[in-house]
Structures are given as structure tokens and as C-alpha cells.
Chain A
Amino acid sequence: MASSQVVKVLIVDDDNFTRRIYKTMLFRFCFEITEVEDGKNAIQQFVDGNEYDLVLMDKHMPNMDGVEATRTLRGMGIPVKIVAITDDASSKDTFMDAGANKFLLKPLTFSMLTDILKSFNFLN
């Protein structure tokens, strides 16, 4: 886990509305949340030395898509849990091959999120 006890989550999605919903879901767990609009900014977060326990990664984004961002993070040796969340069902294999830990189809529901968090032992 990242250095503090609080679970740190990075939301990577170009849609402001989607990020707002994810934030509201995650606030219930008192997680620390950062949001960025594309894969390139996601990579920059790690380059800047930030640590995260979980990344919620969209696929279709400007500048750098989620698959490329995932592949890049793994190439950098970043072991963070990456959950791909997209409405593009055909991208599952690509995402998993790039190094994602889980793949979910949008829209994300609270129970889907809770199941994922439990599977990673992020919930006490």
C-alpha cells in the first residue's frame, strides 16, 4: 500500500461527469482521491513521485489512452492496482495484456466498486 494508511486512488477519465460519480462513490470510504483527464497526466502523477494504491482507468481518452497508459506504467515498474473501466468490451484482452489487474464495463455501480475494493483488501 502507499506510504500512509489512507487508500490513495487515481481516477483517470476524460469525462468530468464520470469522475464526479466515481469520487462520490469513493468518498464513502474516506479514500484520498486524485483525478486526471488522460493517460499522459496519469503517467505524470507517478513521474512526479506520487504514490497510489489503485488506478481507475478509462480507455478512450485524448493524448494517451488507457491501454497505453497501463502499458507505460507497467513498463516503469509501477505495481499499482489498475482497474480498467470502459464501455468498450472488445478492449478487455488488450487491457489485461497491457497489465491491468481487473476489467469492468461501464457504467460502474457501487456494488461493482465495492467488490473490487474487497478483492484488493482495501476495505476493512
Chain B
Amino acid sequence: MASAPLKAQLTDLLNSMFAMDFLDEQFKELQMLEEASGPGFLAEVVTLFCGDAERIISQLSVLINEPVVDFGKVDANVHQLKGSSSSVGAKRVALVCVKFRNVCQENDKEGCIAALHEIRHEFDELHKKFQTMLQLEQQIQVLDSK
């Protein structure tokens, strides 16, 4: 089957994402849901998550760079990001969100800046891998439909 090498590549990618804690068991829940819902569900939720995360991280950058930081608003945004990252199985992003909330609750601006950099880094790494995953899935679908 023409798609076999791509499927192997996708499997390797996902295995490495689980091994490196980019993803956890919750992502497997979503994979199971896709099996029942049909193709496209995982792509949709991953795309939705990445869009939401990007928006929240941009908002956090604005909030933290205010002369007087509203730690309540920062915390609310981080809480939202933690929720969606937990729901998609984005383990490393969710863990950094926990650290972020801790420094936020201490009104620690420098700590928040550092945590934001870390979230940015973790999300960017995850986003790249998700993009590769979606591209592979798309290519596999095209080949399998022929």
C-alpha cells in the first residue's frame, strides 16, 4: 500500500510525542473518539486547540507587559489554556500552565515572564509536531482514497 511508509512515519511521530510527554493519555481518548466519529475530528480539535492556544498566549504577552499587571486576568487566561491543553492531552503545555498559575498567584511578574517564555517554547514545539501529524494524515487519506 502506497501509504504504508507514511503511516509508519505517523506512528513513529506519535510514539515519540508520547515518549517525550508532549502528549498523554487524553490524546488517546481523542484518537478513540475519531475512530467513532470519522476522519477529521482529530484535525478539527487539534486545529481548534492550536488557534485557541495561540490567541491566549498572545493575550498573556499583552497582559504581562502592562505597566501594572492584572494578575487576576493573567491567571484566568492561564487557567483556560491549562483546561484546553489538558483536554487535548498536551501534557507539557499543561504542566507549564500549573507553574505559571503558581507564580501568578504570588503576583510574581518576573516569574510570569519566565513562565510565558516557557509556555511559548512548549507550545511552539508541540504546534510543529501537530502540523507534521496533520500533514501526514492528510497525505495518507489522499493515498488511501485512490
Which residues from chain A sit less than 8 Å from chain B, CB to CB? 14-18, 20-21, 24-25, 27-28, 60, 87, 106-110
Q: Flag whether B52 is at the interface (Cβ < 8 A).
A: yes
Q: Which residues of B contact A107 (CB under 8 A)?
A: 26, 29, 86-87, 89
Q: Which residues of A contact B45 (CB under 8 A)?
A: 17, 20-21, 24
Q: Closest A-chain residue to B76, C-beta based?
A: A60
Q: Closest A-chain residue to B49, C-beta based?
A: A17
Q: Is the interface of B mostly helix, strand, loop or mixed?
A: helix
Partner of A16, one of B37, B41, B52, B82: B52
Residues 30-49 of B at the A interface (beta carbon under 8 Å): 30, 32-33, 36-37, 41, 44-45, 48-49
Contact A15–B84 (Cβ < 8 Å): yes
Contact B84–A17 (Cβ < 8 Å): yes
Contact B33–A14 (Cβ < 8 Å): no
Contact A87–B44 (Cβ < 8 Å): no
Q: How far is the CA of A28 from the CA of B36 in the complex (A)?
A: 7
Given contacts A17-B49, A17-B52, A17-B87, contact A109 B80 (CB under 8 A): no
Contact A106–B86 (Cβ < 8 Å): yes
